[in-house]
Amino acid sequence: MRVVEYHANDDIRIVEQPVPEIGTGELLVQMRACGLCASDVMEWYMRPRAPLYPGHEPVGVVVAVGEGAEPFRVGQHVFVHHHVPCMVCHFCQRGSFSQCATFRGTRLYPGGLAEYIRVPAPNVQRDVLLLPDELSFEHGTLIEPLACCIRGIDRAAVQPGDSVLILGAGSNGLMLGQLARLRGAARVMSVDPIAYRRQRALEMGADIVFDPQAAPLLAQIQEYNDGRKPDIVIVTPSKPAAMAQGLELAGPGGTVLFFAPPPSTETIPITPHQLFFQEITLRTSYSAGPYETRQALDLLRQGRIAADTLITHRFSLTDAAGAFRLVAQPGDAVKAVIINA
């Protein structure tokens, strides 16, 4: 079978590997579509571990069922989650699924960007979901990233009537904006330097989208938001400068959510005096668990997330290198999906 092998953003190879053999409780899934995530082109994270086999947003068709996994059948369309928690450890009991040792130790083999994927038994038991007939493979690739956004919105604690500012109008920023609206946000504001993405954010329901290069950003926000800073600021870029900016933009009593990680060596300045007297909460959000994937599937099935507007580019498996180039330097693009027809 063909497998995407990552060496660097500009060194993506298609290699041949044997089709995986499955064991007890496992599934073999033929990948039909897999989205690319910004983390797939985060070189500080990816290159030190190369060569590796990326892809964590796959959906496909069950082609073999191991003993004990019989509730699943050959021919079913499924979403497969790359990580699953144990559901019983200390961290799982607190809802911190991404801190669970089982969560961090489970993964798809060889990765989501392969013609065939072996799904380990724990993943089969806890987070393989049947795709309803009305949900296409392309739209199914959004289950995992949307689940991450649902967890982010939960941790940001968006309340009805809040003003929400989202830094970055990539695919995650666009989904976070729609989720904020579903949670009752009175104003959803977005910021992006790319005109194409600003237009997409407006099409997907943002009340206003700011060009940070047009005028001082805080002045633009306050002019629109009755002179106030936002109640919630969600920072989707992984750049420390954006994170520091997010802290400066949050209003009294507000919450700042960091949605993507910078390298471990990066730091940002924080003024505890400001955080204390303005009661500003700083939170982070990492990945998603089985509860969020099920919510994501329901939202997509109901058409409450504008999937067609999110997915802007499609590539064949053999042109995976082109997809990685696009995601690394997005420009006039939002979400890229690799199709294995």
DSSP 19: P
Phi then psi for residue 246, to 5 deg, are -60, -40
Shortest CA distance to 224 belongs to which of 209, 246, 244, 234? 209
As a whole number of angstroms, the distance between CA 55 and CA 33 comes to 10
Q: How far is CA 295 from CA 151, 173, 285, 290, in A?
A: 10, 18, 17, 9
Q: What is the pLDDT of residue 38?
A: 94
Cβ atoms of 138 and 337 within 8 Å: the answer is: yes
Pair 163, 230: CB distance under 8 Å: yes
CA distance 40 to 95: 26
58: helix, coil or strand? strand
| Structural domains present in the chain | 2-142+305-339 (3.90.180.10), 150-284 (3.40.50.720)
d(Cα 103, Cα 98) in Å, to the nearest integer? 6
User: Between vectors from CA 337 to CA 333 and to CA 204, what angle results, nearest 5°?
Assistant: 50
Could you state, in chain order, the average pLDDT of each consecutive group of 10 residues for the chain (341 residues)?
98 98 98 97 95 98 96 97 98 97 97 98 98 97 98 97 98 98 98 96 96 97 98 97 98 98 95 96 98 98 95 97 94 95 83
pLDDT value of residue 330: 81
